[in-house]
Structure 1
Amino acid sequence: MILAPHLIKVKKKEVGLPHISEATERQKRDGMCWEKEDELYNDGGAFKITARTSEGIIVTLIADNYYGYSKKEVKTQISYAANLLGNVEEEHAGGAIAFPSYNLGDGFADWNQFAENHLTFDEMVGMYGHIMEEMPEGYAIDKTYRDIIYVPESSVFNLVDQKVSWEKQDKAFSIRLNPKCTYISPAGYKVRMSKNPYVPSWRLIGTAAEGTFCHKLHCFGGWKIGNFQVHQRCHHLWSVFHCRL
């Protein structure tokens, strides 16, 4: 990293930019050409030039008297190195997948949740039968995690009776509602028992199958105006914002 604030006085002609008569349309649009020999590069304003290689070698030249840019550039280079290495993130970046959960009380039989993707128990077994052990009563147990129970889309949970019940071929079936087990419907909706941390009672907890990915903003300093901090450069999982004052 090279800090060289005096380079704001470098002329366009001196750095090899073409005359406007020889410039491309893009060079004209970006101001990367000159008409008069005394025209300054970037109109005499601060600028940064960075060269990177696929091996991770980075050389950055900063022509400005705001030396805080060096800290931001270090973080940028760390992020670049992390991307090249793969499966790692820069220190200030991070995230989590949040799955909404709900207090279902003493009973639950919400067909909208159970049949959200219109998948039946038989179709689920056909798709994932290799990971579960199907029982003749019409439910299945995970082969790896024996406390995960797959139940039909018509299941009814009753905490008072401690039963999970459903119908199969016009016959009623049920299994014990076990506080150590998690029950999953064909739509992926999960139901489990949970003890209330404040009173001596239990309730059913339902968890949605689809989560929300929450990603922490990854920011590189900025300017403070009054009581507001204005970040010059912020990286987000979905968007990149460039704010220049």
Structure 2
Amino acid sequence: MKKMRLIVLLFTMLLLALASLPAKAQKVVLTGGHNVIPVMYESKAGPTGFAIEIARTAMERAGLEVEVKLYPWARAVAIAKHGDAFITGFSYTETRAHDFAYSDLLVNENMILVTRNGHEIPFDRAEDLTGRQIGYLNGSTFGPEFENLKRYFNPDPDTQTSRRIQKLMMGRLDGAIFAQSMIAYFPELFNTNIEDLTVLPRKVGESAMYLATAQNTAHATLMTRINSAINEMHADGTVAALYARKYAYP
């Protein structure tokens, strides 16, 4: 009888010990584009960029163990759509919403209008851009403000940022639209001196970025926890700090 009590006692103690151990964090994969500087890219120290760091921090605060794997953008989207990963820096469309579960807003990227230094154009109201030749990434939309501006300027869409800068510096564009965060990297990326450019003070729109994963998957059920962490990070200034950081050039 005593032996049986001892066995029960030892078994109970073992259960209590196991229950007191910290829960092992769930492992998840975070993906995105491999060469979108400074949003998400491979550096010598590993994957980084503000969309990576904001997403990774939120997921870790939500109690997840995060492995970052970056790919060409189309492949990253396909992996996330299959339910094998979360994808960061993801824009919202109604078409995508059929397949993807979205987080709350990660970060808004300001889109700005840039001219050659000494060739500035007035931009106090939309009508100031009437007849101006403005370059931007083909297929882009940056919200209602941008769509309204397109009614006035002459659109000159392209598929390469380097080509847009070249046309701007050659005087073939009156202005060009870029993500605000990219300007600081122009010398390294495009051999362009920032002093040769003028950033006009009024933004032309915003690029809203989210975290997303496939609908109706185990990953999608984690979004509530992740959203709580994202909102906490907006409130305590972490998102703003990670967005403003100067990231290492590869």
Give the shorter-chain TM-score range: under 0.3
TM-score scaled by length of structure 1: 0.22
More helix by share: 2
Pair member with larger Rg:
1
More strand by share: 1
TM-score scaled by length of structure 2: 0.22
